[in-house]
Amino acid sequence: MKVSELRIQTARLWQSLEEMAQRGATPDGGVCRLALSDADKEGRDLFCDWLRNLGLTVQIDQVGNILAIRPGSQDEAPVLIGSHLDTVSTGGRFDGAAGVLAGLEVLRTLEEKGIRTRRPLGLVSFTNEEGARYTTDMMGSQAFCGELSVEQVWAIRGLDGTLVGEELRRIGYAGDFPCGAIRPYAYLELHIEQGPQLDRAGIPIGIVEAITGLTWLEVIVRGAANHAGTTPMDNRRDAALAAARIVASLPDLASSIPDQRATCGRFSVAPGIVNVIPHEAIFTVDLRNGDPARLLEAETQFRARVQEISSRSNVLAEIRLLGHVPPQRCDPQVVSVIESVATDLAYPSRRMVSGAGHDAQILARICPTAMIFIPSRDGVSHSPAEYSTPEALEAGANVLLHTALRLAGVERA
Ligand SMILES: [Zn+2]
């Protein structure tokens, strides 16, 4: 058969997803496979069995990343496919697992058809992408790329008081394969979109051009406390009212900048007494954009609004920067390979920005990287209701297969 006619087996992929979903299954049909928990161990064991059944050597690195490399005809840097098997506590069956198991299906398809690539083809499941139990998200990929030391990772304490190093040993995944030993030629990750754009548009393939950057700000508004009954409405320095005006202006700010998101996630007022005009309001704002200039523009606009609204409201405002992660662009060449593969396989596709963080944004710092998104029904994720159809997985895995083959090169058909 011609390599161009090669397709993954949808039923086999779907079956594997079903089996993986039993590890950490919750009564509501969701999955709770928190990093390094007993359920995570069960999922890892199953994945390792599947890799060994393909005749692959499974490497566990020092932070528990699971890695298998299918040799190529040439001893060069591998094309690496990956994602994660951990979930949040209210997780679904697809976030992370879809990417890992689509990668497994790619390897199974090549093995079954006896296709040898020039470059080796690797598959990795990263430890603790979600950051739900140990709040350092993308932990395993950061260690893999040398952004966190192994010792730093081992010393991370979870919300339940456990240490990553101890839990790795407890579940039998404290490996000795050195982090940083592999420098991929390229990295590919298939993931559910976790947003509604592809589902709404009826487009099966999203090609991630950039992963969103974020700026987190905290605003402290100071007014004056006073009596709620005796203070005239035009003679107040109401911190809560000023803060609320700023928050209410966020949708307007977001709509003035392309692809901008702006969210107030925390809001508190003091003294918090029913009959006292608040003297203080503290709230956070999460600004996101995939374009660095636009993200900066959003922050600049926001700061100007805070000053304008607070002076109009007769209060003082102070802004603190809580965090900033710059947007990460994907590799333009890998993006166009994915795009041409989708075209050749007759799947409509669309370029897009990922609004969520992924291991791919860490890998993008060390090698050419891009992501393939498949539709999430109604844009729902981190929920038992998370769902992507078998057809969506099939399309995504076929694009993943042929993108990997183009990057790795085919030795013999
Ligand atoms: Zn994920």
Residue 244: which CATH number?
A: 3.30.70.360
State in Å: Cα 233 to ligand 1 middle: 49
Together in a domain, 50 and 91:
yes
pLDDT for res 325: 86
Together in a domain, 252 and 386:
no
CATH number at residue 8: 3.40.630.10
Q: What is the pTM of this model?
A: 0.89
Together in a domain, 194 and 257:
no
Together in a domain, 336 and 406:
yes
pLDDT for res 135: 87
State in Å: Cα 273 to ligand 1 middle: 41
Mean pLDDT of 287-297: 96
- Residue-wise pLDDT tens digits, 111-126: 999 999 999 999 999 9
Number of domains in the chain: 2
Domain boundary among 306, 325, 344: 325
| AA identity, residue 300 | T
State in Å: Cα 352 to ligand 1 middle: 17
Q: Are 183 and 267 in contact (CB under 8 A)?
A: no
Mean pLDDT of 226-235: 95
- Cβ neighbours of residue 366 closer than 8 Å, sequence gap 6 or more: 145, 146, 183, 184
* Averaged pLDDT score across all residues of the chain: 97
Domain boundary among 298, 325, 352: 325
Together in a domain, 172 and 35:
yes
pLDDT at residue 413 above 80?
A: no
Query: Which helix or strand (DSSP H or E) is residue 317 part of?
Result: strand 316-325
Together in a domain, 207 and 229:
no
3-state helix, strand, coil in the chain (%, to 5): 35, 25, 40
How far from the centroid of its chain's Cα atoms is residue 229's Cα? Answer: 49
Together in a domain, 316 and 238:
yes
Together in a domain, 147 and 42:
yes
- Residue-wise pLDDT tens digits, 304-344: 999 999 999 999 999 999 888 899 999 999 999 999 999 99
Together in a domain, 158 and 104:
yes
Together in a domain, 81 and 141:
yes
Query: Which helix or strand (DSSP H or E) is residue 402 part of?
Result: helix 390-408
State in Å: Cα 63 to ligand 1 middle: 18
Give ion ligand 1 contacts, CB < 5 A: 95-96
Together in a domain, 207 and 220:
no
State in Å: Cα 97 to ligand 1 middle: 8
Together in a domain, 48 and 166:
yes
Residue 185 CB burial class (10 angstroms; 0-12, 13-18, ≥19)? middle
pLDDT for res 5: 95
pLDDT at residue 199 above 60?
A: yes
- Domain of 265, in residue numbers: 213-325
Domain boundary among 325, 357, 382: 325
Tell me whether strands 267-270 and 316-325 are parallel, antiparallel or unpaired: unpaired
Please give the share of the chain, as a percent, with pLDDT higher than 90: 96
State in Å: Cα 224 to ligand 1 middle: 45
